[in-house]
Amino acid sequence: MKTYTPTNAQLEAAYEKAVREVTEDIEAGRVPADVAHFRDLHDYVDANCYGGLCDDDNAVWDADSVNALQDRVDAWLASKGEPMGTPCDWCEDTANTEQGAVYVREDGSAMHLGCRLSNDEWEARR
């Protein structure tokens, strides 16, 4: 099976999708809200599919890229809910509001998980 290395934009999009998917699974009760590590997600779901990695239209990423994506999701889970003091660029509230924790994107922008913006909505707002 041939693999490829995704671009930084593809990795960022997969990360944002994975965070949305984990958040949705937590809200739906499929995953407990206190899950703190990527490895723990496997107790409840096929975590390897987060970020669209099992979508039919995705080619197979190389192992280093998959690991990088899962490491970022792991870091997000480990810090989820911790006060970061960073205001959300969308709603301007800080971490630990009803919108959830704020996470900071690679480009330095920040948003609550609860704001759940698509990339198009996010870019239009910026």
pLDDT digits (tens, 9 = 90+) for 67-117: 888 988 888 888 764 444 556 666 665 554 444 555 555 566 666 555 544
Domain ranges of the chain: 1-80, 83-126
Q: What's 101's DSSP letter?
A: -
Q: At what angle do helices 8-27 and 63-79 cross, to 10 degrees?
A: 50
Six-digit token pair at 1?
């099976």
Between CA 48 and CA 70 the distance in angstroms is: 8
Residue 54 pLDDT > 80: yes
Instruction: Single out the residue of 4, 20, 8 nearest to residue 115, CA to CA.
Output: 20
Q: What's 15's DSSP letter?
A: H
Lowest average pLDDT, out of 12-21, 23-32, 66-75, 81-90, goes to 81-90
At residue 81, the pLDDT reads 47
Instruction: Single out the residue of 73, 63, 76, 54 nearest to residue 6, CA to CA.
Output: 63
Band (pLDDT 50/70/90 cuts) for residue 43 is very high
Residue 48 pLDDT > 90: yes
pTM value is 0.64
At residue 58, the pLDDT reads 58
Our measurement of the distance from residue 5's CA atom to the centroid of its chain's CA atoms, rounded to an integer in Å, reads: 19
